[in-house]
Amino acid sequence: MKLIMESWNRFLNEEEGADLKEFYHATDWPVKDFIKGIDPRAEGYGQGKGFYVFSKKEDALEHAATLADVEDRGFFTKEKEYEGPGKSVKIIVIDPPLTPENFDIDYEGWGSHFIKFMQQNHELFTNKYGNYKYREFPNKGMFIYKQKDLKGLLPDEVLKKLSSRINLRTSEDPGRGNAPVLSMVARLFAEEHPDKFRAFEEAILPSTGILKYNGAFPLSPARIEDVEGKVLWSRK
């Protein structure tokens, strides 16, 4: 399996010819769980499957500090619940090409960019994808949806956490509650307008701080470090 993943990584790098950069994931799970391969099938709060990473190492280290502080661990984590003291926090480094095939944005923290895209192309969104309605306000637009209109488009457990009516202003980040809806709308839009959605992603991905790897194949990390930068494992 390791040889297959290494061959796939080399194929991606050679085939895409893209400028390679690194992405960082903070975790307190054992090194061995990542050496055998990163499977991008983990759910992210209803946003769809993916392995969440930061584009800047300092942001991953900041997140690592919250993992190391047991008292500060909230109910929601993208890892499983903390299972006891003494687990070492580490940084998982991946380096697949930054392409729409490999990555998507995190709609919780960066959804405002997609809302702005919706505003700029509101005629393609209004009364679609859950019956979005668009209203123009001075200097800002707003999309409005009702929970009942999303029945069948989002899992029931996600719908239960949503308000009956939510407004998405183009000047604000949507937050965790609205992220599943934006992700769903983006997915449906991408299916109907693949070229337009690809253009959006190509424009926004290079400047996005939080992304999720959702490529078609598992990949092996480039390396794994502790929070001091000591290499614990390397692919090379």
- Altogether, the residues listed in the chain come to a count of 236
- pTM value is 0.76
- Residue pair 107/189 in contact (Cβ under 8 Å)? The answer is no
Going by pLDDT thresholds of 50, 70 and 90, the confidence category of residue 70 is: low
Res 203 pLDDT > 90 = yes
19 and 102 in a single domain? The answer is yes
What H or E segment, with its residue span, contains residue 133? Answer: strand 133-137
- Residue pair 47/109 in contact (Cβ under 8 Å)? The answer is no
Helix, strand, or coil (residue 106): coil
Res 80 pLDDT > 60 = no
Give residue 4's pLDDT.
46
Give the Cα separation of 115 and 117 in Å (integer). 5
200 and 224 in a single domain? The answer is no
Res 13 pLDDT > 60 = no
For the chain, what percent of residues have pLDDT higher than 70?
80
Phi and psi for 116 in degrees, rounded to 5? -65, -40
Region 161-177: what's the mean pLDDT?
77
58 and 102 in a single domain? The answer is yes
Give the Cα separation of 19 and 42 in Å (integer). 27
Res 9 pLDDT > 70 = no
101 and 17 in a single domain? The answer is yes
Give residue 79's pLDDT.
47
pLDDT in tens, 90-146: 999 999 999 999 999 988 888 889 999 998 999 999 888 888 888 887 767 888 888
128 and 169 in a single domain? The answer is yes
Name the residue with tokens 């794994």. 224
Res 86 pLDDT > 60 = no
Q: How far is residue 168 from each of residues 14, 98, 187, measured CA to CA in Å?
A: 40, 28, 17
Phi and psi for 139 in degrees, rounded to 5? 65, 5
Q: State the residue range of the domain holding 92.
A: 2-106+209-234
119 and 90 in a single domain? The answer is no
42 and 95 in a single domain? The answer is yes
217 and 180 in a single domain? The answer is no
Encoded tokens for 32: 């061995």
- The count of structural domains within the chain is 2
24 and 97 in a single domain? The answer is yes
31 and 99 in a single domain? The answer is yes
227 and 162 in a single domain? The answer is no
178 and 130 in a single domain? The answer is yes
